């Protein structure tokens, strides 16, 4: 396990003339347990880059901590009937323990409820006040007569004012469904989250940061830095600028927060999005009293920040504007790496709803931390949303980690450890540079290491990991092509070259993969019998040595004991985990209670059946069981439908019907199927081309205006049937694979019998949920690549 604060005893300071890297990740909010989406979006991504920078020899510190002030903490404290400080203490400890298990190598993991936070925040505020970048204004705010106070953003819920959304649980600051930023007074039918009564609008006085006055300075900064920003960060920033910057309120009517140091505002605190980014500075101040050498030193320090996409404007607009307004020489963000959302199986991860796998859950699965880190990083949503599925986790563990990486390392070290054989001693490799296969491998690996370095410098972490794993694939190919097992008996000298080169490649892989899987790298070094701290530095000289892999480990070195590095995740284990974490945490609790109740009922039924048997009624029971079995066989469920992933390969308008398309769809058969669909008035022709669709393949063929339709494309529509959208399988779903429904694994009918009205019976249970996932009675349409979705029609019907 990597230590959480690697240099806590000796705080590092910038060194003139060296590359000094300051890394932060968005401060996780302290009112709940972080889920896997939070972890990959913030702390894990930043940790990988910090570990890489340290391996490169850069003078690096990684700062993070819990964001502890604001409405959400007060709300959670009310829910649990404790003080806000007690909530913060509780969840700070939970966060810290989770990140320690995930091997996150913070130099300092702090918190924002500290005296340092108050001091730094108030000092920055005073500078802004003195420089006239702040204004006062009276605003209208919702006031709850029952609670006798103004309601901050998150104390209010209501209907989203966005006509295309109308989500009925939008918060006062943002709608979680459509992501629109809101003011509480914009909500329709607002209600107090504490007492559920309807609040009224009252006047209240607040302080504002005058962003429009700072806009030119901000734009100059963005223009200078945006070359090192991820594309989604640039897009989000310019979306704000395009709308036109407005002054932003930086105070709130709360008790829990940094007090405003002005007499007339003594009953207010700073808005969490004003003070939270300042937490990076104050946590650094807790790390070292000489924090200004990191934060007011733009000539010597590069600042890299990591976060999810919903945090971008506060870091690219609000925070830099705040620092620019002080007139001081702050270290402003050089590079920002932003992730999209990681979704979970049938919908979004959600802390508030308890949906997904949480940090505490990951540990309880008994899947090793290196597997979790690897899976999250290969699935890192760098340019678009990604989906966590248990099947995908199983596939990546079994095929990529076990059969590729683990297999290569174990083959090499087990062969060297054989006795008789090399007896755990790495052999000499005389004239290795003259061995064509070895020389070719060195060239390929050297080129890939150069690509790895380039990707990591640009913070393209997923690409860096993919390159490192491709080097492992090269290693397996090298072993196979060299036929080392034959060489041992026929050409011992060449076999020695191959084995020493392969051992060097094992060592190199441990170093390249250390940022991603540090516990894996430690285990490999242990099996190589090397000190745990002895990793390649990835300095320029070590990177150049990658072309001469046989030079990494000396001949005569004794390795340790090889053991398998990864364990297969079997189908039944994967299905058990998927079932265990289905639905929300509340659903899981209800499910466990229901299973316990069912178990009790079955036990009582069995006892009654035993009694009947003793009374000679076994024959009657058997007849009843036979009837029940027959009933089950004829039960009409979605398992009777043959729904497959299809790919539209050709589409044109029906020659004799203006409202119909004629499509040719690949459904995994020798020839595409011809399908006629009434979608002309809903979906433009160009948007039908090359689309993945869900196709019902076992309907009885029907002639439509002279053309026989051999299947049906499934679509979702709203309640008025004024909007229609295709149900789309995810990218990566294979044409022809059957769409599955958990718990309904039966064999579909060859052709649905129209007289039995099977389709008509099942169809009313097909729908989209509020997360835009296609479902059958709440169970997602599932493929090997994830769940099937629609673009915008939530709670719609599918037909």
**Mean pLDDT value across the chain:** 88
Distance CA 250, CA 125 (A): 10
Q: What does the pLDDT look like over 590-606, one tens digit per residue?
A: 545 544 555 555 555 45
Is the pLDDT at 250 greater than 80? The verdict is: yes
Is the pLDDT at 656 greater than 50? The verdict is: yes
More confident residue, 6 or 233: 233
Q: Which residues contact 310 (CB under 8 A, 6 or more apart)?
A: 179
Distance CA 92, CA 110 (A): 9
Q: What is the pLDDT of residue 666?
A: 93
Q: What is the pLDDT of residue 617?
A: 45
Mean pLDDT over 705-734 rounds to: 91
3-state helix, strand, coil in the chain (%, to 5): 45, 20, 35
Q: What is the pLDDT of residue 141?
A: 86
Q: What does the pLDDT look like over 50-105, one tens digit per residue?
A: 999 999 999 999 999 999 998 888 878 888 889 999 999 999 999 999 999 999 99
Looking up tokens 């309120």, which residue turns up?
249
Distance CA 157, CA 196 (A): 9
Is the pLDDT at 631 greater than 80? The verdict is: no
Distance CA 306, CA 27 (A): 10
Mean pLDDT over 424-445 rounds to: 94
More confident residue, 106 or 609: 106
Of 250, 42, 230, residue with least CA distance to 129: 250
Its pTM stands at: 0.72
Q: In this prediction, what percent of the chain has a pLDDT beyond 90?
A: 63
SS3 label, residue 777: coil
Distance CA 332, CA 689 (A): 46
Q: Between the CA of residue 310 and those of 23, 112, 180, 244, 707, what are the distances in Å?
A: 19, 20, 10, 19, 49
Split at pLDDT 50, 70, 90, the class of 3 is very low
Q: Which residues pair with 780 in a beta bridge?
A: 775
Q: What is the pLDDT of residue 771?
A: 84
- In residues, how long is the chain? 799
Q: Which residues contact 135 (CB under 8 A, 6 or more apart)?
A: 207, 208, 210, 247
Instruction: Specify whether the CB–CB gap between 75 and 81 falls below 8 A.
Output: no
Is the pLDDT at 179 greater than 90? The verdict is: no
Is the pLDDT at 319 greater than 60? The verdict is: yes
Q: What is the pLDDT of residue 628?
A: 39
Lowest mean pLDDT among 341-355, 496-510, 573-587: 341-355
Q: In this prediction, what percent of the chain has a pLDDT beyond 70?
A: 91
Q: What is the pLDDT of residue 210?
A: 95
Q: What does the pLDDT look like over 378-427, one tens digit per residue?
A: 999 988 888 888 999 999 999 999 999 999 999 999 999 998 889 999 99
Split at pLDDT 50, 70, 90, the class of 670 is confident
Residues 298-314 as b/e (b if ≥16 CB within 10 A, e otherwise) read eebbbbbbbbbbbbbbb
DSSP states of 287-356 as a string?
H-TTTHHHHT-TTTEEEEEEEEGGGHHIIIIIHHHHHHHHTS----EEEEEEE--EEETTEE-BTTTTBS
Q: Residue 766: which H helix or E strand, with range?
A: strand 766-768
Q: Which residues contact 792 (CB under 8 A, 6 or more apart)?
A: 164, 723, 725, 772
Instruction: Specify whether the CB–CB gap between 459 and 304 falls below 8 A.
Output: yes
Q: What is the pLDDT of residue 633?
A: 43
Q: What is the pLDDT of residue 611?
A: 53
Distance CA 305, CA 645 (A): 40
Instruction: Specify whether the CB–CB gap between 336 and 307 falls below 8 A.
Output: yes
- Can you list the alpha helix ranges (DSSP code H) found in 396-529? 407-417, 436-457, 461-482, 484-490, 492-512, 518-527
Instruction: Specify whether the CB–CB gap between 121 and 260 falls below 8 A.
Output: no
Looking up tokens 């990951």, which residue turns up?
362
Contacts 24+ apart (CB under 8 A), 222-228: 222/316, 225/332, 225/333, 225/334, 225/335, 228/334, 228/335, 228/336
Split at pLDDT 50, 70, 90, the class of 355 is low
Q: What does the pLDDT look like over 358-381, one tens digit per residue?
A: 888 888 899 999 999 999 999 999
Q: Residue 54: which H helix or E strand, with range?
A: helix 43-55
SS3 label, residue 630: helix
> E strands, 601-660, where?
643-653
> E strands, 574-705, where?
643-653, 661-666, 673-677, 692-696, 702-704
Asked if the peptide bond before residue 420 counts as cis, ω within 30 degrees of 0, the response is yes
Split at pLDDT 50, 70, 90, the class of 351 is low
Is the pLDDT at 713 greater than 90? The verdict is: yes
SS3 label, residue 48: helix
Distance CA 45, CA 25 (A): 8
Contacts 24+ apart (CB under 8 A), 295-301: 295/22, 295/330, 295/331, 296/328, 296/329, 296/330, 296/331, 297/14, 297/20, 297/329, 297/331, 298/329, 298/330, 298/331, 298/332, 300/14, 300/15, 300/16, 300/20, 301/14, 301/20, 301/21, 301/22, 301/331
Is the pLDDT at 623 greater than 50? The verdict is: no
Mean pLDDT over 425-453 rounds to: 94
């Amino acid at each position: 396990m990597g230590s959480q604060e690697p240099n806590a005893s000796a705080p590092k300071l910038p060194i003139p003339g060296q590359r000094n890297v300051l890394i932060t990740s968005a401060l996780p909010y302290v009112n709940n347990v972080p889920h896997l989406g939070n972890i990959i979006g913030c702390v894990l991504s930043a940790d990988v880059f910090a570990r890489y920078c340290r391996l490169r020899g850069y003078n690096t510190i990684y700062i993070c901590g819990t964001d502890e002030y604001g409405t959400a903490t007060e709300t959670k404290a009310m829910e649990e009937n404790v003080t806000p400080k007690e909530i913060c203490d509780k969840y700070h400890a939970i966060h810290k323990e989770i990140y320690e298990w995930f091997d996150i190598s913070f130099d300092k993991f702090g918190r924002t409820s500290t005296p340092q936070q108050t001091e730094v925040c108030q000092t920055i505020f005073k500078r802004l006040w003195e420089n006239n970048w702040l204004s006062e204004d009276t605003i209208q705010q919702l006031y709850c007569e029952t609670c006798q106070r103004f309601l901050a953003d998150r104390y209010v819920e209501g209907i989203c004012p966005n006509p295309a959304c109308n989500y009925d649980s939008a918060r006062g600051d943002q709608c979680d469904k459509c992501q629109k930023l809101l003011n509480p007074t914009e909500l329709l039918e607002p209600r107090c989250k504490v007492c559920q009564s309807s609040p009224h609008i009252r006047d209240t006085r607040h302080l504002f940061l005058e962003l429009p006055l700072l806009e030119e300075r901000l734009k100059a900064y963005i223009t200078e830095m945006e070359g090192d920003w991820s594309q989604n960060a640039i897009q989000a920033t310019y979306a704000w600028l395009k709308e036109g910057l407005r002054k932003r309120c930086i105070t709130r009517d709360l008790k829990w927060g940094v007090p405003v140091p002005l007499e007339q505002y003594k009953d207010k605190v700073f808005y969490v999005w004003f003070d939270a980014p300042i937490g990076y500075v104050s946590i650094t101040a807790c790390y070292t009293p000489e924090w200004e050498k990191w934060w007011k030193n733009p000539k010597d320090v590069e600042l890299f920040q990591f976060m999810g996409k919903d945090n971008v404007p506060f870091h690219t607009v609000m925070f830099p504007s705040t620092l620019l307004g002080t007139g001081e020489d702050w270290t402003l963000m050089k590079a920002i790496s932003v992730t999209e959302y990681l979704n979970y199986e049938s919908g979004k991860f959600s802390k508030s709803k308890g949906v997904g796998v949480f940090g505490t859950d990951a540990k309880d699965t008994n899947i090793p931390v290196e597997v979790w880190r690897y899976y999250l990083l290969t699935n890192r949503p760098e340019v678009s949303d990604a989906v966590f599925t248990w099947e995908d986790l199983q596939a990546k563990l079994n095929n990529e980690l076990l059969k590729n990486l683990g297999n290569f390392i174990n083959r090499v070290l087990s062969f060297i450890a054989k006795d008789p054989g090399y007896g755990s001693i790495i052999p000499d490799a005389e004239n290795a540079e003259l061995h064509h296969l070895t020389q070719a491998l060195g060239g390929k690996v050297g080129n890939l290491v150069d690509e790895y370095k380039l990707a990591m410098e640009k913070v393209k972490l997923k690409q860096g990991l993919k390159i490192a794993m491709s080097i492992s694939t090269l290693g397996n190919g090298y072993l196979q092509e060299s036929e080392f097992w034959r060489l041992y008996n026929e050409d011992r000298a060449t076999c020695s070259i191959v084995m020493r080169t392969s051992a060097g490649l094992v060592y190199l892989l441990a170093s390249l993969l250390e940022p991603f899987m540090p516990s894996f790298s430690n285990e490999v070094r242990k099996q190589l019998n090397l000190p745990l701290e002895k990793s390649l530095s990835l300095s320029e000289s070590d990177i150049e040595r990658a072309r001469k892999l046989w030079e990494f480990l000396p001949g005569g070195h004794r390795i340790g004991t090889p053991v398998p590095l990864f364990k297969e995740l079997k189908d039944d284990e994967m299905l058990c985990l998927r079932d265990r974490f289905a639905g929300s945490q509340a659903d899981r609790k209800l499910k466990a209670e229901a299973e316990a109740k069912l178990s009790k009922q079955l036990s009582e039924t069995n006892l009654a059946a035993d009694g009947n048997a003793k009374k000679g009624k076994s024959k009657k029971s058997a007849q009843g069981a036979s009837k029940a079995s027959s009933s089950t066989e004829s039960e009409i469920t979605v398992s009777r439908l043959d729904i497959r992933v299809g790919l539209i390969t050709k589409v044109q308008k029906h020659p004799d019907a203006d409202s119909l398309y004629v499509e040719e769809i690949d459904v995994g058969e020798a020839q595409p199927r011809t399908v006629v669909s009434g979608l002309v008035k809903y979906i433009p022709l160009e948007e039908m081309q090359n689309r993945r669709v869900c196709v019902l393949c076992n309907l009885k063929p029907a002639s439509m205006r002279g053309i026989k339709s051999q299947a049906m494309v499934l679509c979702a529509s709203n309640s008025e049937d004024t909007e229609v959208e295709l149900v789309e399988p995810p990218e990566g779903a294979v044409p022809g694979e059957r769409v599955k429904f958990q718990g309904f694994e039966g064999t579909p009918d060859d052709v649905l019998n129209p007289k039995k009205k099977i389709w008509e019976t099942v169809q009313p249970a097909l729908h989209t949920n509020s997360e835009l996932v296609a479902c059958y009675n709440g169970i997602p349409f599932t493929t090997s690549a994830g769940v099937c979705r629609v673009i915008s029609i939530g709670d719609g019907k599918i037909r």
